[in-house]
Amino acid sequence: MSVETSVFSPANPESAAAPVGRSVASTSDIKYPPIVAATPSFDPNKMQELLDGPMRPTRDRVKAILTRPEFRYYKGTDKDEHRTIVFNWLLELAHEGIGRLGYPAIAGGEGDTRKFLAAFETIALHDLSLTIKFGVQFGLFGGSIQQLGTEHHHEKYLKPCGQGALPGCFAMTELGHGSNVRDIETTATYDAATQTFEIHSPTQSAGKTYIGNAACHGRMATVFAQLIVAGECHGVHAFVVPIRSAEGYMLPGVRIEDNGNKLGLPGVDNGRIWFDHVRIPRTDLLDRFASVSPEGVYSSPIASQSARFFTMLGTLVGGRVSIASAGNQAAKSALAIAIRYGARRRQFSGGKDPQECLLLDYPTHQRRLMPRLANVYALHFAIRALGEFYAKPNRDEKETRQLEATAAGLKAWSTWNATAAIQIARECCGGDGYIAANRFASLKADSDIFTTFEGDNTVLMQLLAKNLLMEYGGKFKSMSTLDMVQFFGTQSMDRLAEMNPLVTTKVDKDHLRDTDFHLSALRYREQRILEGAAKRMRRLVKSGVESYQAYLQCQVRFGELAEASVEREIAERFAESVIKVVDPAIRTVLRDLLDLYCLSTIEKHDGWYLEYGYLGGKKTKMIRREVDELCEKIRHQAVALVDSFGIPEELLSAPIALR
């Protein structure tokens, strides 16, 4: 008897329809138990209205597009096919006008930065390859032309970019220089005789790398290069450089390599680019902050090369704002899947009840998921405040520095939190979380890069710390001796009040759930680390240590400072938002989430607080108990809280989480 006859007998017609070695059922065929959730204490629809804010029409518009059949998730593993599908999705979004929402009217846009950020954030609920492809095309390539170019560039390049007719790249990072943009090697040398710039990669390490849109679809790139005029280098500037013809053929002098398979984002065509004496017109220097005359005279309204460099990079901070938001959206998707699953999956029984226990009813499960749920809610409001600040017109120099520092810190904290939340959510779904259809595989792989692009997180935290130290030092430059005495006197009095044994050992519930206590504790940690870092840095320099070496010796401490600053910033923005909520039921559950975010953050650093005498041992123990109680309390609202994210079933997609 043949193998085929023994396996597929006429007595088993169902198996006879299946080929050898292939199972009949798929994950989508499995009927999962219903999600068990008590009636929430608040209206999830009203919570979604609050979360969506005034940009809800834009969010709904984007969701309506993404839930069309043609946007159904790609289930295959062919990289080239995935790239083509994502590119077609991108063109459809461009056709719908989504990509140019933030562009000026001259480019066919609406000039509304908040709409663009809301659209990007919503797209991050879909395939993250599309999110990044969208960000590269309309945010980085188009955004660099918008922010660094002038009207000529807007009319010539920004309009076709927004329409999807001119696919582009953002070519900053090099093989030899990632975060250190100031020292990139690519050159742009002006030739007055031909009124052209010669774009050149002088070494192998000068090749632009990990450039989205470069491997397949990009026809033009914003290239960052050292500008050389009459033998003098004026630092990094941006140029618009064609890399492919309209038919898609590589242009002379341009060499492109595919970065190939990556850990994630298979639908994004990342590549490396080298230039061999490629000439472009003088007018293709993005000249908002500097220009070169036909005769070869360099001029800029910003005299300092260093100030000019940071001003140019500062205009591109929108990328960090967007990635902070995208990371939080990925965390929301992961938590929505895990929490819904935990409300339907049962495991073990005990006592007299023969029914097995829901995963969400286990305190350990609550402890893993509820603090992360509080984090994404806290981040939602902090990132929204950051987006509104970014969209504010006519920021002064001080506000711009503040924006850059805040964006750096929130981007780092949000993406680190997303990485941790997605991993925890996957673990909370056990083996089902390991099945590709349930989306953790793609969420983990695709969001992992968020921690290192648009700025490596550790480097960004150092940027934030440096800004805090500059502000701290700046306070004293304008102070008289009397002012300084009063300043340190007030700080000493505040510290004595907070270090009072009656405060450090106070454990009643009203105190432990008091937002003033939470904010005071978070501010104290930031200020104490800031003072310590500043004093140590000053002491090292005074002892003769070279300033850069002194900085390196304090670098770990600066990371702690930045972390403390971001955690305080998130808490303050969340607290401000909760106070403004009118609906008492929504305000109550948000207050619980605020308390959990703050107390779990303090608990995370309880060793530090004990070391500095800010908290007593009994108080840290009671904080831990309060976190346990909050996790159990929020567990009963958890399904409604993730429903309030407003993620359409088509986008959530994971079979274990669908209703």
Inter-residue contact 356 to 348 (CB < 8 Å): yes
CA distance 428 to 342: 8
Phi-psi bin for 351: left (phi > 0), alpha (psi -120 to 50), beta?
A: left
Output helix, strand, coil percentages for the chain, rounded to the nearest 5: 60, 10, 30
CB neighbours of 254 closer than 8 A, spacing ≥ 6? 243, 244, 273, 274, 275, 276, 278
457: nearest Cα among 418, 417, 409: 409
To which residue do tokens 């009063």 refer?
486
**Cα 463 from Cα 455, distance rounded (Å):** 10
181 Cβ contact list (under 8 Å, min separation 6): 172, 224, 236, 313
The catalytically annotated residue of 198, 454, 560, 563 is 454
Instruction: Give the integer Cα–Cα distance in Å for 547 and 213.
Output: 40
Residue 164, token pair as written in the block:
């999807």
Which among 152, 162, 105 is positioned nearest to 286, based on CA atoms? 152
Helices within 53-112 (DSSP H only)? 56-66, 79-95
Contact 86, 73 (CB under 8 A): no
Compute the radius of gyration of the chain from its Cα atoms: 27
Phi first, then psi: give them for residue 273, nearest 5 degrees: -130, 130
Q: Is 257 a catalytic residue?
A: no
- Write a three-state SS string for 58-70: HHHHHHHHHCCHH
Cβ-Cβ contacts under 8 Å for 632 (sequence gap 6 or more): 363, 366
Quick one: tokens of 274?
A: 């080298």
Distances 554 to 418, 457, 550, 568 between C-alpha atoms, Å:
28, 17, 6, 21
Burial 431-470 (b: 16+ CB within 10 A, else e): ebbeeebbbbebbbbbbbbbbbbbbebeebbbbbbbbbbe
* Cα separations in angstroms, 64 against 53, 324, 650: 18, 24, 11
The torsion region of residue 191 among left (phi > 0), alpha (psi -120 to 50) and beta comes to beta
What is the C-alpha to C-alpha distance for residues 540 and 546, in angstroms, rounded to an integer? 8
Of 287, 306, 307, the C-alpha closest to 297 is: 287
Distance CA 158, CA 144 (A): 10
d(CA 549, CA 106): 49
Neighbours of 195 (CB within 10 A): 16
- Take residue 316 and report the two structure tokens written for it: 């591109």
Q: Which residues pair with 226 in a beta bridge?
A: 187, 236
Structure letter (DSSP) for residue 488: H
Give the count of beta carbons closer than 10 Å to the beta carbon of residue 92.
Answer: 16
User: What is the C-alpha separation between 200 and 573, in angstroms, rounded?
Assistant: 46
Q: How many residues does the chain have?
A: 659
Enumerate the active-site residues: 454
